[in-house]
């Protein structure tokens, strides 16, 4: 896998998270729905981050992918503490961790259902599936 296709997706997700975190106010004015949708956004984007980092490790290091995503979640909340109108929250890191964990569990379940071991698909010497 070429470096751009390997590392580009997680870097793009990280950049998106950074840009959204740098916004002074993301409130939509929908009250409780706004809070719920933003928290679901946290779960979703960090699940996607874990998936892209796990893919970059060729699915061989899911724990490393989780640590990287969790460290990024922590650094993102620290970053938000410097943005006017925003604040860093350990609760948001926990919500991000939920997204990371759900993605990892979904991946592990998919691997188990296919009866394969974790890692990239095994290819034959001709380059195709065995």
Predicted confidence at residue 48, as pLDDT, reads 98
Distance, in Å, from the CA atom of 9 to the CA atom of 2, rounded to the nearest integer, reads 12
Q: Would you give the end-to-end CA distance of the chain in angstroms?
A: 19
Closest CA to 118 of 127, 108, 104: 108
Closest CA to 65 of 92, 95, 100: 100
Predicted confidence at residue 73, as pLDDT, reads 98
Say what the pTM is.
0.86
Predicted confidence at residue 124, as pLDDT, reads 54
pLDDT in tens, 81-116: 999 988 899 999 999 999 999 999 999 999 988 887
The gap from C-alpha 21 to its chain's centroid, in whole angstroms, comes to 15
Predicted confidence at residue 27, as pLDDT, reads 74
Any idea of the CA torsion for 40, 24, 80, 62, to the nearest 10 degrees? 40
pLDDT in tens, 23-69: 987 777 888 898 899 999 999 999 999 999 999 999 999 999 999 99
């Amino acid at each position: 896998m070429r470096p751009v296709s390997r590392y580009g997706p997680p870097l793009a997700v990280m950049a998106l998270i950074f840009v959204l975190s740098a916004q002074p106010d993301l409130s939509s004015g929908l009250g409780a729905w706004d809070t719920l949708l933003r928290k679901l956004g946290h779960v979703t984007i960090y699940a996607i981050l874990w998936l892209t980092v796990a893919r970059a490790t060729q699915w061989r290091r899911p724990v490393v992918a989780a640590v990287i995503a969790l460290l990024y979640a922590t650094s993102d909340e620290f970053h938000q503490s410097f943005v006017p109108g925003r604040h860093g929250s350990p609760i948001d890191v926990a919500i991000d961790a939920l997204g990371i964990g759900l993605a990892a569990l979904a991946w592990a379940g998919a691997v188990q259902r296919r009866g394969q071991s974790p890692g990239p698909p095994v290819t034959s010497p001709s380059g195709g599936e065995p």
